[in-house]
Structure 1
Amino acid sequence: MPAPVSIIIPTLNAASDLPLCLDALMPGLEAGLIRELIVSDGGSEDATPAIAEGSGAAFIRGEKGRAKQLIAGAEIARGDWLFFLHADTALSRDWPERVLDHLSERPDKAAVLTLAYRSDHPMAKRIAARANRRARWLGLPYGDQGLLLPRALYDEVGGYEDLPLMEDVRIVQKIGKSRISILSAEARTSAAKYERDGWRKRSWHNAMLISRYLLGASPQKLAAKYR
Structure 2
Amino acid sequence: MSIILPVLNEADNLACLGRSPNRNLPGVEWIVVDGGSQDNSVGIAETWADQVVTGFRGRAAQMNAGASSARGRALLFLHADTRLPGNFADFVETLGRESPLWGFFPVELQPGSPMLRVIARMMNWRSRLTSVATGDQTIFIRRDVFQRVDGYPPLPLMEDVAISKQLRKLAKPYIWPSPVVSSSRRWQQAGVIRTMVLMWYLRLLFVLGVSPTTLHKRYYGS
Q: Normalising by structure 1, what TM-score?
A: 0.91
Deviation sequence 1:29-71 (CA, Å, 0-9, x none) = 33x240x211000011112112111113311112321111111
Return the offset for 1:19.
2.6
Q: 1:58 is matched with which residue: 46, 51, 59? A: 51
Structure 1: how far apart are the matches of 2:23 and 2:14?
16
Structure 2: how far apart are the matches of 1:187 and 1:137?
19
Q: Which residue of 2 aligns with 1:93?
A: 86
Q: Which residue of 2 aligns with 1:10?
A: 6
Return the offset for 1:28.
6.2
AA partner of residue 49 (structure 1):
V
Stretches of structure 1 that go unaligned for 5 or more consecutive residues are none
Structure 2: how far apart are the matches of 1:148 and 1:64?
21
Report the more deviating stretch, 71-80 or 215-224: 215-224
Equivalent residues of 2:17, 2:23 under 8 A apart: no
Return the offset for 1:160.
0.6
Structure 1: how far apart are the matches of 2:107 and 2:39?
27
Q: Which residue of 1 aligns with 2:24?
A: 29
Task: Looking at secondary structure, tell me which structure has more strand per residue.
Answer: 1
Stretches of structure 2 that go unaligned for 5 or more consecutive residues are none
Q: Which residue of 2 aligns with 1:157?
A: 149
Q: Note closer, same or farther for the CA distance 1:139–1:150 as it changes in structure 2 (3 Å cut).
A: same
Structure 1: how far apart are the matches of 2:211 and 2:16?
34
Structure 1: how far apart are the matches of 2:16 and 2:130?
30
Equivalent residues of 1:89, 1:187 under 8 A apart: yes
Deviation sequence 1:187-206 (CA, Å, 0-9, x none) = 11111101101111111111
Q: Normalising by structure 2, what TM-score?
A: 0.93
Q: Which residue of 1 aligns with 2:121?
A: 129
Structure 2 counterpart SS, 1:16: helix
Structure 2: how far apart are the matches of 1:90 and 1:134?
21
Equivalent residues of 2:112, 2:184 under 8 A apart: no
Q: Note closer, same or farther for the CA distance 1:193–1:138 as it changes in structure 2 (3 Å cut).
A: same
Q: Note closer, same or farther for the CA distance 1:147–1:23 as it changes in structure 2 (3 Å cut).
A: farther
Q: 2:174 is matched with which residue: 175, 181, 188? A: 181
Structure 1 counterpart SS, 2:163: helix
AA partner of residue 145 (structure 2):
L
AA partner of residue 72 (structure 1):
A
Q: Cα RMSD between the aligned structures?
A: 1.6
AA partner of residue 193 (structure 1):
R
Structure 2: how far apart are the matches of 1:124 and 1:20?
23
Report the more deviating stretch, 8-17 or 52-61: 52-61
AA partner of residue 224 (structure 1):
K
Deviation sequence 1:99-155 (CA, Å, 0-9, x none) = 3223322x2421211101111322121111010011100011111111111111101
Q: How many residues align?
A: 219
Q: Note closer, same or farther for the CA distance 1:145–1:23 as it changes in structure 2 (3 Å cut).
A: farther
Return the offset for 1:222.
1.1
Structure 1 counterpart SS, 2:176: strand
